[in-house]
Structure 1
Amino acid sequence: MKAVQINRFGGPEVLEAVEIPTPVPGAGQLLVRIHAIGINFADTLMRANRYAMTPPLPAILGSEAAGVVAALGPDVDGFAIGQRVAAPLFAADRMGAYAEFIAIDASLAVPLPDAVSFEQAAALLNQGLTALYLTRQAPPKGKTVMVSAAAGGVGSILVQLAKRAGARRVIAAASTSAKLDFAMSLGADAGVNYTSADWTEELRRVTEGVGPDIIYESVGGDVTGACLATLAPKGQIVIYGALNIQSFQLGVPELLGLIFKNQSLTGFAFIPLLTPADMRSGLAALFELVTRNELVVTIGGRYSLAEASKAHGALEGRGTTGKLILTP
């Protein structure tokens, strides 16, 4: 089968198309023929050996996929050949989705409704659950919230879920006017461009001088620091995502602000919160919203397996919206 792997760490050019044996499903496993693969920014950091976890080499990246059951291993019940399934590999701390086939434990596979496309499913596994769990970790009901990177895979879903969860106002933050327009089309009430020199003043203006009650923050660096400076009294910043671990420092002035304004800075990673039952119910809820046309899943780019390096370059260029997908 065709796959894309890395034999060394580096830029997008280290992603190499290879031919490897098709896996054989073992006891309790399914062989899934993959139709859509989700690309995450964490994939690019792993490729460059800049992630919290260093994968052993050679490595096939990718932690989310959707496809069709191609074969059943021994002792598998509840699945049939030809059945459509989603494969959230991250729930088992696995990679290997950049390929035509993958063998997974049947307990990991999630049935996929016919009304949800393979691409939509691949886009919702990691990033959809992240957005859903963020709204549970920091409930937005009745509050003014800001979503950074609001045009990205998580952000574009989070804007919608925060509105559904009863946020009083949702402020989108992004790096271009086009991205802000996109976020507004998904239901954001206002937008700020955090590449503008005066963006914090604009954020104060659109929040009537108070600042957001909740900031869902994934950009990191200077943006995180600016978010702390504009957060409302008793407000909460929820930090998530791979970028925030790269270039953020918390000093005495920031700590004093948190203390005297009764603010909180919360870390978030949804995978430690997952149980098999919660994962299935969460994905079922997201799939149901898509089925009812109540959640827009935006596919920002489609690439073949052979174009994986091009897809990584596009994602790192920060010019994309929605979710990038590989198709075998």
Structure 2
Amino acid sequence: MAALGEGVTEFAVGDRVAAALFAGNVYLGGYAEYVVIGADYAAPVPEGVSFEVATALMVQGLTALYLVKQAPPAGKRVLVSAAAGGVGSLLVQLAKRAGAASVIAAASTAEKRAFAQSLGADAGVDYTQADWGEGLLPDVIYESVGGQVTMESLRALAPLGQVVIYGALNIQQFQLGVSELLGLIFKNQSVTGFALTPLLTPAALRSALAALFDLAVRGEILVAIGGVFALKQAADAHRALESRNSRGKIILTP
């Protein structure tokens, strides 16, 4: 922390803090060396948590944590799409910690599926293949890919199951037809939407980040960093994301 505003007493200049811009309704400014944020939306970063790990646990970690809270996996067969990504890799671990009976990692390459299995996934499936969901019957599907992956997720879902849709997926290609609606109705299934920001009060934000930081410090979750780029290399960071070859979170540093 470089400076304090008037009346801020809970922090000191030099403190290590994570600033959740999105939670404070600040949607621009992440690509900057300095940013102004309301003190309510700053959270202490403990020793033992690097700034890179803290960054990866902000949007991705909070999303994974709240997904597990919103759609509890305890005792259930779970499928995680994009399981090697920033959110997916954490979802695999948090779902297992929350008592999932099994976790299936859906990813596009054998390397990514193996990585997700190294984090605790019990099996992997290639969602680029036709009919990849046949016979899986997961009870909960955390889905962020969109398009045909979402449609196949509905076909794969167990009776009484739930598909939770989150992230910047291609919703323009998602259209429920009569057969999908009949399946949802007569199998008592549900499709649930998820957005992180409306759930985050200042107190909830700090509590959730403290829990995630604690898990990281104690080595109970692995925070995968897919690449670290200096701010002047932002274009390279975008190319790394667009390549779809990265695993975990891509980080920009000053």
TM-score, length-normalised on structure 2? 0.97
- Give how far 1:244 is off: 4.1
SS at match of 2:191: strand
Partner of 1:273: 199
Structure (1 or 2) with the greater strand fraction: 1
1:196 aligns with 2:122: no
Which residue of structure 1 lines up, in the alignment, with residue 24 of structure 2? Answer: 92
| Inter-partner Cα distance in structure 2 for 1:106 and 1:199 | 47
1:245-284 matches, cutoff 5 A: 245-284=171-210
Measure the CA separation in 1 of the matches of 2:131 and 2:139.
Answer: 20
Contact 2:16 2:44 in 1 (8 A): yes
Residue in structure 2 matched with residue 19 of structure 1 by the alignment: none
**Contact 2:24 2:38 survives alignment (8 Å):** no
Alignment RMSD (CA, Å): 1.0
Question: What is the match of residue 14 of structure 1?
Answer: none
Which structure has the bigger radius of gyration? 1
**CA offsets, 1:254-290, max 9 Å, x none?**
1011001110011111211111111111111000101
Structure 1 residues 163-211: Cα deviation after superposition (integer angstroms, max 9, x where no partner): 000000000000100000110000000000111234223xx2xx4xxx0
Q: Give the whole-Å Cα distance in 2 for the aligned partners of 1:92 and 1:244.
A: 26
1:224 & 1:198 partners in 2: Cα distance?
12
Q: Which runs of 5+ in 1 are unaligned?
A: 1-68
- Asked whether 1:304 is paired with 2:240, we answer no
* Equivalent residue for 2:42, pick from 105, 109, 112: 109
The range that moved more, 74-83 or 116-125, is: 74-83
In the alignment, the residues of structure 2 paired with residue 183 and residue 252 of structure 1 have an alpha-carbon distance, to the nearest angstrom, of 35
- Residue number among 62, 66, 78 corresponding to 2:10 in the alignment: 78
Query: Following TM superposition, by how much is the alpha carbon of 1:319 offset from its aligned partner in structure 2, in angstroms?
Result: 1.5
Secondary structure in 2 aligned to 1:71? Answer: coil
TM normalised by structure 1 equals 0.76
Residue 62 (structure 2) aligns with = 129
* Percent of residue pairs bearing the same amino acid type: 67
Matches within 5 A, 1:16-35: none
SS in 1 for 2:167: coil
1:213 lines up with 2:145 in the alignment: no
Q: Secondary structure at the match of 2:133?
A: helix
SS of 1:296's partner is: coil
Secondary structure at the aligned position of 1:237 is classed as: strand
- In structure 1, how many angstroms separate the alpha carbons of the residues matched to 2:173 and 2:31? 29
1:74 Cα offset (Å): 1.8
Query: Which whole-Å CA distance do the structure 2 matches of 1:198 and 1:244 have between them?
Result: 19
Runs of 4+ in 1 over 3 A off after TM superposition: none
Partner residue, 1:237: 163
| Aligned equivalents of 1:226, 1:127: Cα separation in 2 | 24
How far did residue 97 of structure 1 move?
Answer: 1.4
